[in-house]
Amino acid sequence: MREWRAKGQAKTLAFCVSRRHADFMADQFRRAKVRAAAVYNHSRLTRGEALESLTSGKIDIIFSVDLFNEGVDLPVIDTVMMLRPTDSKLLFLQQLGRGLRRHPGKERLVVLDFIGNHRGFLNKPQALFQTGDTYRELAHFAQRLERGEVQLPAGCFVNYDLTIINFLKSLVGDDLASDYEALKVSLGRRPTFAEFYRAEVNTARLRNQYGQWWALVREQGDLLEPVHDL
């Protein structure tokens, strides 16, 4: 709540994990004298009523569950609060997109992301800046960010804390297992060798350390069937 009071604006949409979570968050904010409502299927307040109340200024924040991810026009939203862990870049972009519509008097969108899951965190620069899927590519993105070389559309800017930049930069290296894991998380499945190769990993080290691709896959516990080397 402290971060929301310091950085939030007038009309906030928050994404929650469950009905219980949404009810809890709304109750905590109301106890602090913030006008808040929990909205989900069969909630006391319908989605339409909640949006009307938010637009008119009767409430300040909606805590929602699966009702506003997509297909809803929410131009008045000027603050989005991420409270739902997800490894999905698509879901993250859908939730972010709820606040990106232009509206009279709306100068910017503030996004408050409270999710500390490392996989979800690493997915976000991949989703927003198309950094690539390996730790090495994330590290290179941080280096470009530090040098001011990241190109953004007119009127947009990104401000990463120095601690985060240093963390991303630390991901660079020749750790094939880490590159494999990062690519697997990004794809949501076991990567192919072609995908691993296109991610610009050190294939010479792969040969030296493992002999061949399937040995790395076996070490990661992803070899489901015996493979006969040709």
Q: DSSP per residue over 98-114, as a string?
A: TT-S--TT----EEEE-
Residue 36 CA to residue 25 CA, distance in Å, equals: 9
Considering the chain, what percentage of its residues have pLDDT values greater than 90?
19
Residues 147 and 192 in one domain: no
* Integer angstrom CA distances of residue 225 from 176, 180, 184, 218, 222: 22, 19, 18, 10, 9
Residues 132 and 206 in one domain: no
What is the value of pTM for the model shown? 0.61
- Ranges of the chain with pLDDT below 50: 117-118, 227, 229-230
**pLDDT at 14 (0 to 100):** 93
Among 76, 98, 113, the domain-final residue is: 113
Q: Identify the domain containing residue 194 by its residue range.
A: 176-219
For the four alpha carbons of 109, 95, 15 and 116, in that order, the dihedral sign comes to negative
**pLDDT at 122 (0 to 100):** 64
Domain total for the chain? 3
Is 6 part of any domain?
yes
Residues 26 and 97 in one domain: yes
CB 110 within 8 A of CB 78: yes
**pLDDT at 172 (0 to 100):** 62
**pLDDT at 21 (0 to 100):** 93
